[in-house]
Structure 1
Amino acid sequence: MTDTLLLITLKLNARLQPEHRHVLFEDPLEGLLEGASLGEITGGGTALTDDGEVEYGDIEVALNSADDLPKVLALMDQLGAPKGSVVQRAGAPDEAFGVTEGLGLYLNGTDLPDEVYEQYDSNELFEKIVASIEGVGEVCSWWQGPTETALYLYGSSFDVLNERIAELVATYPLCQGARVVRTA
Structure 2
Amino acid sequence: MSTTPLSLNVKLNARLQPEHRLQLFEDPLDAMLEGAGIGEIMGGGTAITEDGEVEYGDLEILLHDGAALPNLIEALEQLGAPKGSLVQREGEPDLAFGSTEGLALYLNGTDLPDEVYEQCDSNYVFDQIVERIDGHGEVCSWWQGPSETALYLYGASFETMRERIAELVATYPLCQGARIVQVA
Q: TM-score, normalised to structure 2's length?
A: 0.98
How many Å separate the matches in 2 of 1:34 and 1:7? 15
Residue equivalent to 2:110: 110
Residue equivalent to 2:153: 153
Output the amino acid matched with 1:86.
L
How many Å separate the matches in 1 of 2:30 and 2:145? 31
Gaps of 5+ in 1: none
Provide runs of 4+ in structure 1 moved above 2 Å: none
Residue equivalent to 2:172: 172
Residue equivalent to 2:88: 88
Identity within the alignment, %: 70
How many Å separate the matches in 2 of 1:126 and 1:103? 13
Residue equivalent to 2:21: 21
Return the offset for 1:124: 1.1
How many Å separate the matches in 2 of 1:134 and 1:65? 38
SS at match of 2:94: strand
Return the offset for 1:39: 1.4
Q: TM-score, normalised to structure 1's length?
A: 0.98
Task: Provide the aligned length of Structure 1 versus Structure 2.
Answer: 184
RMSD: 0.8
Q: 1:160 to 1:2 in 2, by over 3 A?
A: farther
Return the offset for 1:181: 0.2
Contact 1:26–1:59 (Cα < 8 Å) also in 2: yes
Output the amino acid matched with 1:57.
G
SS at match of 1:93: coil
Output the amino acid matched with 2:167.
E
Which deviations, in whole Å up to 9, do the C-alpha atoms of 1:117-148 show, x marking residues without a partner? 11111111110010010110000000000000
Contact 1:107–1:149 (Cα < 8 Å) also in 2: yes
Return the offset for 1:2: 4.3
SS at match of 1:4: coil
SS at match of 2:149: strand
Gaps of 5+ in 2: none
